[in-house]
């Protein structure tokens, strides 16, 4: 059974369970900065060497010969503490040699890189991995990435990205675990464990929880845009994954590019010092995002580099990535008493502590053997398993899937044989020749005479309109498998889209394919849910494949052929049209809640009826309020039936535990792995509460005909929330509880908290 502590729970709630609303106190927990331990080494360092530890430089010398004299001198003089993007172990070892033998301080360097969903063996993008709802698999994926990356000298990654993402226009939703704070927290912990492994182990790499905080709430889904997040929302939704990562021992946290409620995150002493250091007790390294200290200037929050350095330093920043405002200004800021040396000592100590935990003082050089560590059969098998479990079957009319044996398949579309694009965003070290595409995989499974292939379009974005040859080919087949969506470059950092439909002329192609009268299976690879309202009715079956990584092809082929079962579930609410965004299941209840039935397609209304029948409810007159598919949704090739919801009590005290159970039976003919989800709703409270909130989940595998009782425990920690005064409270009253296959359905019960 999967049961993870609530991210904010481990401190025993610090005694703050309120039976009724208490007088306002201003913040959550008693607040002292974690005692700044000063590493004994710090005393022996000069000011320049201390400041140097705070510098993370981007250096990309390709060979030892490319290492400039200037770079050598910087290391020798202790002007740099870490590097990002050093591309190979020989170069890393040479830079390290200079630090360890030619510099006076002899503090090892640490080499960092964005290893986001695999190093060479690429796993599905984080959003795809979230669709597995399988923390063990996410942990194993991060471990594989750590083993491969560390063999190349990389000991610090900038992952996991745990920004809650409720707007799929935002390109970076693909790097996230989706919209839900609970699911994201569980997967954040799994990921941190996977990357960091055992302390001191040469394959342990420091994880970085990012981007602190609220980056995913960028207004309009436009990257780097402003964010406004009221404090209770920040504490209830955006912060929990970070608290979970802190409790899991994450070694570093990266501040975000965005400004939060008017203060740029990278100079925001409230969120860094007050929340992260004092409330969460975080004592690890805080690193800026790329140039985000310097960007305090274009934000209009600092007038020059000196002021930017002072603000970021005093807000709590330890490491400055790429820009050099600390390096250039800390001497004079220290001199002028604008920043303190004791703070500097604490920052340096945290960085040294991280290096000690990584074992770099004992073993500074790359010792792994990349040949043995990278792209092993075991790694590829795990990547294939992750890809398989990430696939979400969203539609399967007339059981067109799994494909019947012996039929001729027309494999059509711009992503059916797209070795690079199936990898998704952030794959700095991947090589497309390591990918196995859908076409490659089908070629292994089907005889040549039974497989027809056409790319149909030059790329997912292109605007071909003459599909006559493709249609000719399609007519010769028994079934069409269309593989389209978004190529890798359409999501990721700085790749937000204002229109999230299938790009290029893919909608046209799908319609034309459907006109052949052949069953049409759509497999979509994309960095986000796509708005399919105009075209989904043309698809007899639909599989969301995200960007499935190196082994996406075999995973998809196995699923389509019925050699494996679909188990993935949506980690995000899937909109019908872009205009519904932001869209998320755990929305606060409206005073005029929309209901099913009070809406018909706008176009169908005669004018008079239209004026009177819109219902004055919380919906759009042209699209209603329902998503295309709810959060948590996913079909299988079998059928799981939920029954016998039982609650151990009707009324509980705040400190009681409520047991909630239901029977799940496989009524179909194939095995099923069902992700059983537990949701609650607090019916009346001092703040408007969400209509549902995920509190737990368990995956159960059932043979045909088999039934199992799935039990959950609900405690006060599941019922509590941050109220308007930011107290973590349980308010007595009525609650609904669901054991459910997704955020819209399920068995509903009710209980009272005394």
Residue 607 CA: distances (Å) to CA of 143, 559, 610, 625: 60, 48, 5, 21
The minimum distance between CB 285 and ligand BGC, in angstroms, equals 14
Chain length of the chain:
754
Output 289 or 717, the one with its CB closest to ligand BGC. Answer: 289
The minimum distance between CB 125 and ligand BGC, in angstroms, equals 14
> Considering only residues 269-328, where is the footprint of ligand BGC by CB under 6 A?
289-290
Task: Report the C-alpha gap between 68 and 54 in whole angstroms.
Answer: 21
SS3 449: helix
Output 105 or 142, the one with its CB closest to ligand BGC. Answer: 142
Of positions 158, 177, 442, 633, contacts ligand BGC by CB under 6 A:
158
Within 8 A by CB and 6+ apart from 4, the residues are 135, 185, 186, 189, 244
Output 60 or 595, the one with its CB closest to ligand BGC. Answer: 60
Backbone CA torsion sign across 676, 677, 678, 683: negative
The minimum distance between CB 628 and ligand BGC, in angstroms, equals 29
Beta-bridge partner residues of 97: none
Are 412 and 456 a contacting pair, CB within 8 Å? yes
Output 158 or 631, the one with its CB closest to ligand BGC. Answer: 158
Residue 289 bears catalytic tag = yes
> Considering only residues 187-216, where is the footprint of ligand BGC by CB under 6 A?
210
Task: Report the C-alpha gap between 573 and 166 in whole angstroms.
Answer: 8
The minimum distance between CB 161 and ligand BGC, in angstroms, equals 7
Of positions 223, 434, 493, 512, contacts ligand BGC by CB under 6 A:
493
Backbone CA torsion sign across 259, 261, 265, 269: positive
The minimum distance between CB 10 and ligand BGC, in angstroms, equals 27
Output 169 or 689, the one with its CB closest to ligand BGC. Answer: 169
Task: Report the C-alpha gap between 108 and 78 in whole angstroms.
Answer: 10
Output 114 or 487, the one with its CB closest to ligand BGC. Answer: 114
Interaction mask 94-123, ligand BGC, x per CB under 6 A: --------------------x---------
Are 581 and 575 a contacting pair, CB within 8 Å? yes
The minimum distance between CB 112 and ligand BGC, in angstroms, equals 8
The minimum distance between CB 550 and ligand BGC, in angstroms, equals 21
Task: Report the C-alpha gap between 49 and 42 in whole angstroms.
Answer: 9
* Beta strand ranges found along 288-391 (DSSP E): 320-321
Output 290 or 629, the one with its CB closest to ligand BGC. Answer: 290
Q: Per the residue annotation, which of 273, 289, 540, 717 is the catalytic one?
A: 289
Within 8 A by CB and 6+ apart from 152, the residues are 88, 89, 92, 119, 366, 368, 370, 429
Residues touching ligand BGC: how many (CB under 6 A)? Answer: 6
Which has the closest alpha carbon to 427: 125, 675, 21? Answer: 125
Minimal CB distance residue for ligand BGC: 158
Q: Is residue 633 part of the contact set for ligand BGC (CB under 6 A)?
A: no
Residue 739 CA: distances (Å) to CA of 178, 285, 719: 21, 40, 16
Output 188 or 456, the one with its CB closest to ligand BGC. Answer: 188
The minimum distance between CB 114 and ligand BGC, in angstroms, equals 5
- Count CB neighbours of 91 within 10 A: 23
Residue 618 CA: distances (Å) to CA of 26, 124, 703: 33, 36, 42
The residues assigned a catalytic role are 289
- Footprint of ligand BGC on this chain (CB under 6 A)? 114, 158, 210, 289-290, 493
């Amino acid at each position: 059974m999967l049961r993870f502590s609530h991210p904010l729970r481990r401190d025993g709630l610090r005694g703050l369970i309120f039976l009724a609303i208490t007088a306002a106190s201003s913040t959550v927990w008693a607040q002292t900065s974690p005692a700044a331990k000063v590493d004994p080494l710090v005393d022996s360092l000069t000011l320049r060497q201390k400041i140097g530890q705070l510098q993370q430089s981007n250096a990309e010398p390709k060979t030892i010969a490319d290492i400039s004299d200037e770079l050598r001198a910087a290391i020798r003089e202790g002007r740099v503490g870490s590097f990002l993007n050093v591309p190979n172990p020989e170069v890393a070892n040479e830079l390290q040699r200079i630090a360890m033998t030619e510099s006076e301080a002899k503090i090892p360097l640490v080499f960092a890189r964005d290893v986001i969903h695999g190093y060479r063996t690429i796993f599905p993008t984080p959003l795809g991995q979230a669709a597995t709802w399988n923390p063990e698999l996410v942990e194993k994926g991060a471990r594989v990435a750590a083993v491969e990356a560390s063999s190349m000298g990389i000991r610090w990654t900038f992952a996991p990205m745990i920004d809650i993402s409720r707007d799929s226009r935002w390109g970076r939703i693909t790097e996230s675990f989706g919209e839900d704070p609970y699911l994201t927290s569980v997967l954040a912990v799994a990921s941190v464990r996977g990357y960091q492994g055992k302390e001191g182990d040469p394959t342990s790499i420091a994880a970085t929880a990012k981007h602190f905080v609220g980056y995913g709430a960028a207004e309009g889904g436009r990257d780097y845009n402003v964010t406004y997040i009221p404090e209770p929302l920040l504490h209830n939704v955006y912060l929990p994954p970070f608290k979970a990562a802190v409790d899991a021992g994450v070694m570093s946290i990266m501040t975000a590019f965005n400004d939060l409620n008017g203060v740029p995150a990278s100079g925001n002493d409230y969120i860094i010092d007050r929340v992260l250091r004092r409330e969460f007790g975080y004592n690890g390294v805080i690193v800026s995002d790329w140039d985000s200290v310097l960007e305090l200037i274009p934000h209009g929050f600092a007038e020059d580099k000196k002021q930017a350095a002072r603000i970021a330093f005093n807000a709590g920043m330890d490491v400055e990535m790429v820009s050099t405002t600390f390096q250039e200004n800390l001497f004079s800021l220290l001199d002028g008493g604008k920043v303190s040396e004791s703070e500097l000592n604490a920052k340096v100590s945290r960085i040294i502590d991280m290096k000690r935990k990584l074992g770099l003082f004992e073993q500074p050089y790359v010792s792994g053997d990349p040949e043995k560590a990278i792209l092993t059969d075991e790694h590829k098998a795990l990547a294939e398993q992750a890809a398989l479990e990430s696939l979400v079957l969203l539609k399967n009319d007339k059981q067109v899937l799994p494909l019947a044996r012996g039929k001729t398949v027309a494999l059509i579309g711009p992503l059916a044989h797209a070795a690079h694009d199936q990898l998704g965003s952030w794959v700095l070290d991947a090589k497309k020749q390591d990918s196995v595409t859908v076409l490659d995989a089908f070629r292994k499974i089907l005889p040549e005479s039974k497989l027809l292939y056409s790319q149909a379009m030059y790329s997912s974005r292109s605007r071909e309109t003459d599909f006559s040859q493709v249609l000719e080919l399609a007519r010769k087949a028994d079934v069409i498998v269309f593989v389209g969506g978004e190529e890798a470059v359409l999501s990721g950092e700085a790749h937000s889209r204002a229109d999230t439909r299938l790009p290029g002329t893919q909608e046209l192609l799908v319609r034309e394919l459907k006109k052949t009268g052949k069953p049409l299976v759509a497999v979509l690879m994309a960095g986000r849910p796509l708005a399919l309202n105009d075209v989904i009715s043309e698809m007899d079956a639909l599989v969301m494949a995200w960007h499935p990584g190196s082994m996406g092809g075999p995973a998809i082929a196995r699923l389509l052929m019925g050699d494996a079962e679909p188990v993935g579930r949506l980690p995000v609410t899937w909109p019908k049209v872009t205009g519904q965004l932001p869209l998320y299941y755990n929305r606060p209840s409206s005073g005029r809640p929309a209901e099913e039935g009070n809406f018909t397609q706008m176009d169908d209304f005669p004018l008079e009826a239209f004026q009177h029948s819109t219902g004055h409810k919380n919906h759009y007159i042209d699209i209603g309020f329902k998503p295309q598919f709810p959060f948590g949704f996913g079909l299988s090739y079998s059928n799981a039936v939920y029954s016998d919801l039982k609650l151990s009590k009707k009324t509980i005290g705040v400190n009681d535990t409520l047991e909630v159970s239901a029977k799940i039976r496989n009524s179909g003919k194939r095995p099923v792995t069902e992700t059983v989800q537990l949701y609650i709703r607090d019916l009346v409270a001092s703040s408007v509460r969400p209509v549902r909130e995920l509190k737990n989940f368990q995956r159960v595998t059932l043979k045909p005909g088999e039934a199992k009782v799935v039990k959950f425990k609900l405690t006060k920690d599941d019922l509590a929330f941050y109220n308007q005064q930011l107290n973590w409270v349980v308010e007595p009253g009525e609650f609904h509880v669901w054991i459910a296959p997704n955020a819209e359905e399920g068995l509903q019960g009710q209980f009272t908290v005394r």
